[in-house]
Structure 1
Amino acid sequence: MNLPAPTETASAASTPAAQGAPAAALHAAPNRGRRAARLSGDERQRAILMAAERLLGEKDFADVTIDDLARGAGISRPTFYFYFASKQAVLLALLDQVAHEAEKRTAEVFADLSTAPSAAWRKAIEAFVGTFAEHRGVSVAAAGARSSEPELAAEWATLTNRWIDATAAAIQDERDRGASPAGPEPRLLASALNLLNERVITAALTGLDPARPDQMGRDQMGQDQMGQAGPAAALPGGGGETVGETVETLLHIWLTSIYGAVPAGP
C-alpha cells in the first residue's frame, strides 16, 4: 500500500538560500517530483480488501469496524463509503475473490477424469480445502454471517450450486462411460458430497468437533468461535498434515460414493 510521502517544506526552508529568499519565492517553482502519490480508485479498493482480510485474521467480523477498515487502507471514513456501502459489502467482495480463486484451481481438474479419476477428484477437493484454509478469516466470517446477511447467504448458495452442478456433471460422465455404477441421482449425490465437504472444512477451520454433542448447533463455520485460531483450529493456511488428512478422508468418501470402491490406478 502506498501512503502519501511526507512533505519536505521544513528541510527546504532550513537551507541558506531559502532563509534569504522572500516567502513568495519559496512557492514559485514547486518540486512536483516530491508531491504525495495518489492512490487510484482500484488501488484504494484493493487496499480496503487487503485490510479487511488482515483484520479478519486477527478478530471476529463483528468486531471489525468501518474505522478499522479505513485506517487499515490508509483512507478516511468518508472515502471508504465511496467504494463500499458497508463492511458486509467488503466481506461479500472477499468471498467472491476466494470463490473465484477456488474455481480457477479446479478449472481443468476433470480433464483427466477418464484416465486418472482418483487424481482428478483429489485435485478438486484439494483446491477447495486449500483455498478456504489459506483464506481462513474470510471463510469463517462469511459462513458465520450467512444466517444474518441475506446477500451473503444468496452468494454462498450461488457458489455452492455451481460446484454441485460441476460435480453432478462429472458423476454423470463417469456413469456414461461405465466407470461408475448406477446410484443416487447425480445432483442429489453431488449435493450430499459438497455439503459434507462444507461441514468437514467447517469443523477443521474452527476447531469444532462434530462428534461432541455440546458443540452441535454451533454451525455456520463455528460463528461463536470466529477469529479464534487456537491449537484446536485445524487447516492452517500454508498446508501441513491436517490439510492432507482432511483431503484423504474426504477423497475416500467421495470415491466410494461415486465408484462403489476406490478406483485402481492414479
Structure 2
Amino acid sequence: MTAPRTPGRDVAVARGRRPGRSVGDDRESAILATAERLLQRRPFGEISVDELARGAGISRPTFYFYFPSKDAVLLTLLDRVTEEADAAACNVLDRLAEDPRSRWRELIARFHDTFGAHRAVVLACAEVRATNAEVRRLWARVLERWVQAVEAAVVAERRRGAAPDGLPARDLAIALNSMNERVWYATFAGDGPAIDERDVVDVLLELWLTCIYRTTDPARVG
C-alpha cells in the first residue's frame, strides 16, 4: 500500500540521521537493535543514551556520530517499521478485483503482523507523539500515504461497480485507518477495552467490508 515518498534528503532528516550515512552500518544497526530490545522492557523516557551506546558496544561520543539524540533513534525505528509495512502490503490493493474480501484481509493481516512484530516501537511512538513534534510529523506523513492508497482503492472499487457510492472516499479512508491505529494500540498495549489479538484482524476486516461495500461478502465483479 504505497504512494509517492519524499526522496533522499527528506527521509534522512525525518529519521534524524546524518545524510549520507549507510543504513547498513554495523554500529548504527547495533544501536537500533539495542533500542528496540530495551523498549520491550521499559518506556522510552527511561532509556538513556549511555544505555544505547553501551548496548551497541560503543562510547557515548561515538553514538553521537550516528544519531544526534535518542529521539532520532526512535524516529529511525519508526521509519523502518513503516517501510517494512509498506513492503509487506506491496501490491495487495492492486489485486482487489480477484477477491475483495481475501485481499482486504491480506492487507490488514500483513500490517498486523508487521506492527505486532515491532509492537514496542509502535507503542513507544504512540506514547511520545503528543510531545514529540518530529514523531508526530513522520507519523502524519506515513498515515497520509496509507490514506491515499485506501482512498484510491475505494474509488476503483466504486468505479468497477463492486462498492456502492457513499461517504467521500478520502473521509472513509481516514476513518478506517484511524480506527485501525487505535484498535491495534489497545490490543498491543492491553489498554482496555481491547480486542483479543487472535480476533483483531477478523474484527477489523468485517468493519472495513461493511463500511466500503455495505456487506461482509462483497461480490466478485469485473
Range into which the TM-score falls when normalised by the shorter chain: 0.7 to 0.9
- Classify 1:257/1:67 alpha carbon distance in 2 versus 1 (closer, same or farther; 3 Å): same
1:264 CA displacement: 4.8
1:41 CA displacement: 7.9
1:49 CA displacement: 0.4
Give the equivalent residue in structure 2 for 1:55: 38
Does 2:185 match 1:185? no
Runs of 4+ aligned residues of structure 1 deviating over 4 Å after TM superposition are none
Larger Rg: 1
- Classify 1:58/1:79 alpha carbon distance in 2 versus 1 (closer, same or farther; 3 Å): same
Give the equivalent residue in structure 2 for 1:81: 64
Does 2:205 match 1:251? yes
Does 2:148 match 1:194? no
Q: TM-score, normalised by structure 1?
A: 0.72
Which structure would you say has the larger RCO, counting Cα contacts within 8 Å and 6 or more residues apart?
2
Give the equivalent residue in structure 1 for 2:214: 260
Identify the structure with the greater helix proportion: 2
Give the equivalent residue in structure 2 for 1:119: 102
Alignment length (residue pairs) = 198
Does 2:142 match 1:159? yes
1:124 CA displacement: 1.1
1:147 CA displacement: 0.6
**Equivalents in 2 of 1:63, 1:265: separation in Å?**
51
Q: TM-score, normalised by structure 2?
A: 0.85
Structure 1 residue identity aligned to 2:210: T
Instruction: List alignment gaps of at least 5 residues for structure 2.
Output: 1-22
Does 2:155 match 1:172? yes
Please give the root-mean-square deviation of Cα atoms over the aligned residues, in Å. Answer: 1.7
Structure 1 residue identity aligned to 2:179: L
**Equivalents in 2 of 1:96, 1:41: separation in Å?**
15
**Equivalents in 1 of 2:160, 2:219: separation in Å?**
17
